[in-house]
Amino acid sequence: MILVTGNKNYSPWSLGPWFLMTHLGIEFEEICLPLKTEAFDANIRDHSPTNKVPVLKDADRVIWDSMAIFEYLAEKYPQHDLWPRERNARAFSRSICAEMHSGFRSISHFLPMNCRARNRSVQLDSATLKEIARVQAIWHLCRSRWDDLGPWLMGQFSIADAVFLPMVIRFITYGIGISRIAQGWTEYILSTPACEAWLAAARDESHSILLYEKGMQPRRDSST
Ligand SMILES: N[C@@H](CCC(=O)N[C@@H](CS)C(=O)NCC(=O)O)C(=O)O
- Domains of the chain: which residue ranges? 2-79, 84-202
Residue nearest to atom 1 of ligand 1 (CA): 65
User: Can you give the pTM of this predicted structure?
Assistant: 0.96
Protein fold of 2-79: Glutaredoxin (3.40.30)
Question: Cα–Cα distance between 28 and 16 in angstroms, integer?
Answer: 14
For residue 149, the model assigns a pLDDT of 97
pLDDT-derived band at 224, boundaries 50, 70, 90: very low
Output the CATH code of domain 84-202.
1.20.1050.10
Dist. CA 80 → ligand 1 center (Å): 26
| Residue 176 near ligand 1, beta carbon < 6 Å | no
Closest CA to 115 of 39, 21, 1, 209: 209
User: Which contacts of 145-153 are long-range, i.e. CB under 8 A and separated by 24 or more positions?
Assistant: 146/89, 147/181, 151/184, 151/185, 151/188, 152/185, 152/188, 152/189, 153/185
pLDDT at residue 223 tops 60: no
- Indicate the SS3 state at residue 52: coil
Closest atom of ligand 1 to CA, residue 13: 10
Query: Taking all residues of the chain, what is their mean pLDDT, rounded to a whole number?
Result: 96
| Residue 16 near ligand 1, beta carbon < 6 Å | no
For residue 45, the model assigns a pLDDT of 96
**Dihedral over Cα of 67, 116, 182, 85: its sign:** positive
Residue nearest to atom 14 of ligand 1 (CA): 52
Question: Cα–Cα distance between 126 and 224 in angstroms, integer?
Answer: 36
How are beta strands 29-32 and 2-5 bridged, if at all? Answer: parallel
